[in-house]
A and B are shown apart, each in its own frame.
Chain A
Amino acid sequence: MELKFLASDRVEAFVSYIMQKKTVYAPQRAGKHSVALKKVADPGAVVLDYARTMQSVKKFFLPPRDELLQFNLADQSFAPAEVKPLDAVLLGIHSYDRAAIDRLDYNFSQGHAERNYLTRREGVVWVGVSFEPDEFHFSGSVGIRPHDTEGFDVFLTRARDGYLVEVLTNAGRELTAGFDLPATDQAKPQPGHFHQHIFLPQAKLNEVMGASYNNPVWEETAEKCVGCGSCNIVCPTCYCFNVEENVDIKVSGGTRERIWDGCMLREFTEVAGGEVFRGGLAERQRHRVMRKFKYLSDKTGHPWCVGCGRCTAYCTAGISIVSIVNRCISDYEKHAATAV
């Protein structure tokens, strides 16, 4: 793959250039310590060197609140919500967040294929950027490295004084055509090292997690967990939702919309009459982790966790999914050792 060079002082010009072709969404400052993906108005505001956004690109295809239909109470008629292709450049996306979209694509295209999500997914040009693993990232353990280009149309790898640019697809060529990106003979730098690791490959994890259903780690974690659901709501591969009705103050009509929901929340499995099928925090924590490392990976062969570290970074109780999984592994190995 031919490498081109984008010097740091030309990033702003590059963003301006692609903004002429398509709407651009990219990471930008969102608070003292945080960065969020937002529509770019000022090319100078784009931040390519960041650890993680609280919400991933998922929010563009499956918005936190997503109107499904509008109804009229007087004549009981309704109109479907208008859903348009995103048709934009997603710039500065990390490889794990791109991988998470593959997983959401699976959910919304297999079985019943959903128009709302699949329509929004259209027209996206993906421009990735490599990342420097921080104390929470562990995507390497699930096979996703910081400079993986899979799924991207253009990929930027951080290098000395700028970015090495790979134009990977026709859509990428179209986007960058006309912008001067000189060739470079710089070699791609080694990706950064992870500070967090799961100690076993996924192929073996299914077996380990399958044997960890009654591990004490679920109860132990439950003692520290407040069940706030943050870990679900920030996860790029979580897609569960609830549906609500909103009625206008004139009581003449309203909307039916779906809202992100999470399996850590108590009422997620509550039914009329008050029965809660996963009533304890331990059962809920187990379900969350099993979904990531067993239930869906048994079906697809891929872990449903992409190692972004969000659930750990945003847990006020400091609960770490890596520690939970590693604990299951070490208990499994201990057990295997004594069994021999």
Chain B
Amino acid sequence: MKLNELVPQQDPVDLYLPVMSEIRDVRPLTDLETLYTVALPDGRDLGHQPGQFVEVSLFGVGEAPFSISSSPTRKGVFELGIRKVGLLTEKLAELKPGDKVGIRGPFGHGIPVEKFRGKDVLIVAGGIGLVPMRSMINYVLDRRDEFGRLIICYGSRSDKELLFTDEMESWRRDPGVDFHVTVDRGSPEWEGNTGVITTLIPGLELDLGKTVCCVCGPPVMYRFVLLALKSRGLPDKSIYMSLERRMKCGVGKCGHCQINHSYVCQDGPVYHYPDLKSLEEAL
């Protein structure tokens, strides 16, 4: 590559200008998480892939990345599931329908759905990791005949923190969905599984040659889930993982999201597991 003969790969654009979009609906999921329905101006479609993210901003407050929780098959509006943890997210929690937020994106590499087509789809989601995975789940449900079985493992710290409980009910009832949920610590009313998410994996009914898996959850979860999947004999090439790092620009410029040589906002957030092996800092 000759550095002094480079030409821009695209027309230079204002990468950091948000598109002012409208909050259409606000629905509390738990005490901490809220589901926002957002509409781009003029009924424009976001045109995303499951697993991609947008940068959401409020003027005077800040900007941060959030996964798109709705499936691209559901057009017109999109959904974000956001946990209240800091500066921006606390102000987002005060928003009402009709309020405006700035949106940039969609950014990053999402789940390569073509690699899942015709296969059994295994989703392993921990905590807030269900937010992006829900996009894939609904994508599969909306195009049911393009995929094999849908197996969902979802783990949460407690039953009070479970997200999308109403949708969970329909997954549980759906004969085409193999749905498993566990909580680390259940309240007295909890009647389901207790234990960390890895306890769900040994009992799964898997057709190893036909299963492709996507994992998303808190950083500590990955190593243990990987071990559990491997001990079931799932080959590395059938595993995808969605990673999280600090992000600012979302477009490969600011450097914050870098893991070794890889920019999570560009090469990720969804990685093919074999590619992660050359990234010492990844897991």
Tell whether any CB of A sits under 8 Å from a CB of B in the complex. Answer: yes
Contact of B85 among A105, A258, A273, A294 (CB under 8 A): A273
CA distance A199 to B9 in the complex (A): 36
**B residues less than 8 Å from A112 (CB atoms):** 10, 13, 15, 251-253
* Contact (Cβ within 8 A) A103 B11: no
Task: Mark interface residues in B1-37 (1 if CB within 8 Å of A CB, else 0).
Answer: 1011011111111111110100000000000000000
* Contact (Cβ within 8 A) A111 B266: yes
Judged by a CB distance under 8 angstroms, whether A71 is at the interface is yes
CA distance A106 to B8 in the complex (A): 8
* Contact (Cβ within 8 A) B246 A268: yes
* Contact (Cβ within 8 A) B261 A263: no
* Contact (Cβ within 8 A) B251 A277: no
CA distance A213 to B279 in the complex (A): 11
Judged by a CB distance under 8 angstroms, whether A207 is at the interface is no
Contact of B8 among A113, A240, A256 (CB under 8 A): A113
CB contact under 8 A between A290 and B3, given known A76-B20, A115-B12, A272-B86: no
CA distance A113 to B14 in the complex (A): 9
Identify the interface centre among B1, B3, B61, B62: most chain A CB within 10 Å of its CB: B3
Task: Mark interface residues in B70-110 (1 if CB within 8 Å of A CB, else 0).
Answer: 00000000000000011001000000000010100000000
Judged by a CB distance under 8 angstroms, whether B280 is at the interface is yes
**B residues less than 8 Å from A105 (CB atoms):** 3-4, 6
The smallest beta-carbon distance between A233 and chain B, in angstroms, is 13
* Contact (Cβ within 8 A) B17 A80: yes
**A residues less than 8 Å from B185 (CB atoms):** none
Residue of chain B at shortest CB distance from A114:
B15
Which range contains the number of A residues in contact with the other chain?
Answer: 35 or more
B249-283 contacts to A, CB under 8 A, are 249, 251-256, 258-261, 266, 280-281
CA distance A110 to B16 in the complex (A): 16
Judged by a CB distance under 8 angstroms, whether B219 is at the interface is yes
* Contact (Cβ within 8 A) A277 B9: no
A277-319 contacts to B, CB under 8 A, are 277-278, 283, 287, 290-291, 294-296, 298-302
Judged by a CB distance under 8 angstroms, whether A23 is at the interface is no
Judged by a CB distance under 8 angstroms, whether B244 is at the interface is yes
CB contact under 8 A between A299 and B10, given known A71-B60, A245-B59: no
* Contact (Cβ within 8 A) A103 B9: no
**A residues less than 8 Å from B3 (CB atoms):** 102-103, 105-106, 300, 302
CB contact under 8 A between A247 and B60, given known A109-B8, A277-B246, A302-B1: yes
Contact of B59 among A80, A115, A240, A256 (CB under 8 A): A256
CB contact under 8 A between A277 and B261, given known A71-B59, A107-B253, A270-B246: no
Judged by a CB distance under 8 angstroms, whether A269 is at the interface is yes
Judged by a CB distance under 8 angstroms, whether B159 is at the interface is no
Judged by a CB distance under 8 angstroms, whether B157 is at the interface is no
CA distance A78 to B17 in the complex (A): 9
Contact of A102 among B4, B249, B251 (CB under 8 A): B4
For the residues of A in contact with B, the DSSP-based class is: mixed
Residue of chain A at shortest CB distance from B83:
A272
CA distance A78 to B58 in the complex (A): 11
The smallest beta-carbon distance between A255 and chain B, in angstroms, is 10
**A residues less than 8 Å from B59 (CB atoms):** 71-73, 76, 78, 245, 253-254, 256
CA distance A80 to B260 in the complex (A): 33
* Contact (Cβ within 8 A) A240 B256: yes
The smallest beta-carbon distance between A260 and chain B, in angstroms, is 10
Contact of B260 among A116, A242, A290 (CB under 8 A): A290
* Contact (Cβ within 8 A) A115 B248: no
**A residues less than 8 Å from B17 (CB atoms):** 68-69, 78, 80
Judged by a CB distance under 8 angstroms, whether B245 is at the interface is yes
Judged by a CB distance under 8 angstroms, whether A150 is at the interface is yes
**B residues less than 8 Å from A80 (CB atoms):** 14, 17
CA distance A69 to B20 in the complex (A): 13
Can you list the 9 inter-chain pairs with the closest CB atoms, starting with the nearest?
Answer: A240-B255, A295-B261, A113-B8, A71-B59, A102-B3, A272-B85, A109-B8, A272-B86, A115-B12
A to B CB contacts below 8 Å, 23 in the list = A76-B100, A78-B18, A78-B20, A80-B14, A105-B4, A109-B8, A111-B251, A112-B252, A112-B253, A239-B255, A240-B256, A241-B255, A243-B254, A245-B62, A251-B60, A258-B16, A261-B255, A269-B246, A272-B85, A272-B86, A275-B219, A295-B260, A298-B261
Binding site for B on A (CB under 8 A): 68-69, 71-73, 76-78, 80, 102-103, 105-116, 118-119, 150-151, 213, 239-243, 245, 247, 251, 253-254, 256, 258, 261, 263, 268-273, 275, 277-278, 283, 287, 290-291, 294-296, 298-302
Please give 15 more A-B residue pairs, beta carbons under 8 A apart, in addition to A110-B9, A119-B12. Answer: A73-B59, A77-B20, A78-B59, A110-B8, A111-B9, A112-B10, A112-B252, A241-B253, A241-B255, A243-B16, A243-B248, A254-B60, A277-B245, A287-B258, A295-B260
